[in-house]
């Protein structure tokens, strides 16, 4: 449910006013709190990547940041974790 919520927010975040975003953040936090009550802890990491759009050979890569959110059993979460060096994202 949280993944779907993040995706929906990502797809239309620019349509929300700054005031509306507070409500979104509160709702996201309630989902995170529900996971914690179930014994699940979330950790995040980011990685800078180069994204190339399209299949043209001469298209230039664009810098982007990828956010990874990983669930761990509560109390067993690491301080750091490795992120993939490349992402097999196809659009």
Q: CA 20: distance to chain centroid?
A: 20
Q: How far is CA 22 from CA 25, 26, 29, 59, in A?
A: 5, 6, 11, 38
Proportion of the chain above pLDDT 90, given as a percent: 24
* pLDDT of 51 higher than 70: yes
Mean pLDDT of 22-46: 91
Helices (H), 1-91: 2-12, 18-37
């Amino acid at each position: 449910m949280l993944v779907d919520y993040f995706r929906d927010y990502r797809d239309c975040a620019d349509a929300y006013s700054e005031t509306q975003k507070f409500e979104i953040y509160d709702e996201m936090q309630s989902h995170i709190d529900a996971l914690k009550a179930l014994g699940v802890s979330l950790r995040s990491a980011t990685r800078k990547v180069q994204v190339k759009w399209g299949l043209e050979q001469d298209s230039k890569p664009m810098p982007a940041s990828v956010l990874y959110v990983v669930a761990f059993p509560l109390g067993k979460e690491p301080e750091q974790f490795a992120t993939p060096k490349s992402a097999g994202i196809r659009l």
